[in-house]
């Protein structure tokens, strides 16, 4: 049977953010009519009273929890305590109050940072507890990992229906391009475009380029989240990814080419690489709710570069 979004009252935490904007578009495309996006200045999700007020005001039948305090390696190293506490409390309280008020379903986003530093590649959901996360983002990763513990235990004790999805690194138009807090792709795009405009002879990239990453377009991720909300009703974790990996030493020249930057690339090996490798096994998402990524990587990169240049 087809899912009727027009009958749902949906709260999307983080709906005003990067990924949230794509999720709102996808919900609208599928017929959702009553979608409430709480803003942090009105509903501080770290505060239990504000979470209770959100449920009272919005009266949702479904919550999509995308909100997070997040950033790249630099931001994680500067804010380990804040990232742990705020991400933990947002998730814990949204699920607990949802249980109390009889919420029909909650879909929460975990993070690829929850996986062990040396998890076998590709990362399978069964391996998520087989070691400690990479140190530079472990507090954030562990806080998000607790969503999985809470989801499983609340389903067992209370019959509460919640789902936790683990997306790989996201990218796309409307991303955060602030160098101090952004992830690798928007940071590289900004560096390359601005270096080209200034006529710089080189850009500096962090690490030695040996680490690998997998990247998922935010539009693909949004489709995965909304499809899981429709079709998946278990607490077993599910990866959302594109099913490939690219080494950073290959990514940087690709971004430079798309940004039309023709200068040199200097590697600063004194800066951390982060987790050595990242690539997900995405077979569970395909098997359980029929989702897989569709947007080719270079096509998505080109779209992102063009969006950034228009915004400048």
Whether 140 sits among the annotated catalytic residues: the reply is yes
Distance CA 179, CA 186 (A): 8
CB atoms within 10 A of CB 288: 17
Q: How far is residue 43's CA from residue 47's CA, in Å, rounded to a whole number?
A: 8
Active-site option among 43, 55, 115, 140: 140
The residue among 174, 214, 237, 182 whose CA lies nearest residue 15 is 174
As annotated, the active-site residues are 140
């Amino acid at each position: 049977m087809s899912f009727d979004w027009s009958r749902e009252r949906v709260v999307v935490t983080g709906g005003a953010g990067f990924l949230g904007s794509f999720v709102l578009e996808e919900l609208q495309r599928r017929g959702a009519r009553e979608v409430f996006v709480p803003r942090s200045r009105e509903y501080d999700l770290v505060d239990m009273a504000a979470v209770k007020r959100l449920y009272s005001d919005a009266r949702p039948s479904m919550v999509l929890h995308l909100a997070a305090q997040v950033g790249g390696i630099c931001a994680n190293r500067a804010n380990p305590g804040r990232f742990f506490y705020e991400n933990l409390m947002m998730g814990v309280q949204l699920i607990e109050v949802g249980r109390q008020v009889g919420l029909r379903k909650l879909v929460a986003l975990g993070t690829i940072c929850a996986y062990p530093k040396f998890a076998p590649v590709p990362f399978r959901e069964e391996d998520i507890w087989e070691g400690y996360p990479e140190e530079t983002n472990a507090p954030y990763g562990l806080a998000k990992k607790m969503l999985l513990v809470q989801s499983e235990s609340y389903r067992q004790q209370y019959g509460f229906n919640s789902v936790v999805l683990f997306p790989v690194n996201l990218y796309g138009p409307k991303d955060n391009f602030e160098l101090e807090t952004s992830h690798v792709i928007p940071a590289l795009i900004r560096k390359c475009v601005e270096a080209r405009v200034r006529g710089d002879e080189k850009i500096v990239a962090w690490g030695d380029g040996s680490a690998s990453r997998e990247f998922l377009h935010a539009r693909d991720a949004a489709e995965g989240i909304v499809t899981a909300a429709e079709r998946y009703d278990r607490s077993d974790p599910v990866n959302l990814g594109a099913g490939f990996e690219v080494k950073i030493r290959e990514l940087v020249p690709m971004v430079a080419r798309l940004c039309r930057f023709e200068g040199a690339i200097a590697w600063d090996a004194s800066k951390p690489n982060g987790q050595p490798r990242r690539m997900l096994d995405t077979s569970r998402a395909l098997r359980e709710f029929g989702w897989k990524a569709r947007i080719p990587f270079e096509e998505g990169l080109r779209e992102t570069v063009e969006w950034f240049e228009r915004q400048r």
